[in-house]
Chains A and B, each alone.
Chain A
């Protein structure tokens, strides 16, 4: 895999003394969709700002397309696009002129055919002569995406791209982002919506208090950190966990009617379900009847919450 962006030891301490980034190391590969997950104030926007030129890093290096971003910013910024979190643009401008302006700002000659294609793909073509202020919130966000795409960036940052948009539009945007990936654009998105990362990302990074807690392929992360939970409803209540199943990671619910299994963590998605099957066999052998089994795997959200709610989760950088 060819790295397109390499961040090394990136630290940002603001003048007030607050350290937003604490020696972040991160590598993004060409052509992937990378989701950066983290709570408010984790440092996601600061990280994007440092790469895109809005934030001056205190220390560390940023290498994009194999060149130092600080030294070759003129050539490298032409290849990077940004969709900001806030709906920030001149709202009195018509859509088409605003998108053309963005292309010109990056030093490129007008390309009406390309701009038309972008606006049509984002369902904005019919609104091209409307002032941006007259559009709905979702449409405004699409305009910002169109502006960011106008100079055909190879690396695109999307800072909370679907914040505040309805479900239908969110799914529509996911399709647009998937199309971008098909065209070879590398996408880095920050999001609060775990579902979004789960749906789209190839790899996921989790950031908390300016530190990257974990970076891994989404599937590998779920395989490694995912757990299986099974709720087995017993026919007759029990006073304690039967000795026949005591070797399994089970507990008895307060009412004595539900046997709770939590296991399989770090052993792959199928390990937990296989163990639940063994558990049910052991119950049958012991003559303990059950009436229902409710079994589910951890979602990315469960993993995210567990990591962030841990007492002080260890910083762990895994394969890039």
Chain B
């Protein structure tokens, strides 16, 4: 019995969501009196591997195979299942990010493990193995009891603050038996916007709505985001009008974000938008309409013209930071 954590990487760097999953898995192991092992698939900088000990694992299994640099869900599933068997793992932890969503359900089906995706609590083992998750797109929570002997938990990003230590982990090579023929899905190209903070990992998000009147005014949002080191996002009408790319759309049918700070500029706060952001720890709403429903979901609000308020806010933050 032990805990295995899938430590997701991209371009040789372990993702922050993977640190969160590792820390979560290490806590589950401590809670159940067992050990936690992280599994890294694909080529990663050597320094990254032992540093995973910073988040609570003592052991890292490392499959340094360039064929694994990108996710092939079927191949990843075989390897993770083999690692789980080798380690005697009955709890397998994933980040609930894009890669986690591709692989965790496959692993759960293969191992006949009960799956909770988007976990926001550690398991409560007083009465079964109960994990809390957000449901109805953030409008409620469900406590799910995993009744199967094996459990797969996909941890909601930006939910568990990282508590870093200086501990290092031992790194053990892992050589799963996989053939070229197992790679049914082939990557023909990868396009990422470099230098941008991934929206789902961002600690601060600055988001704009129709109140900004047009894409030419997005400099306001970007300037504020820049001084805060924030990611930028938008409401659905903005993405639908083509003012901003769809991958910036947050809300019920877009991305769900859970940053420490969400600043909404010129967004009225339709229920579908709130569903995507109400996991944020602090919400600031700037809107010229005092009746905007978003104020009811906010922690701080300013009624005013975004074109006047936002540059002043950007300047004031710049001053504080200097």
User: Do A and B belong to a common assembly?
Assistant: no
Binding site for B on A (CB under 8 A): none
Q: Which residues of B come within 8 Å of A, CB atoms?
A: none
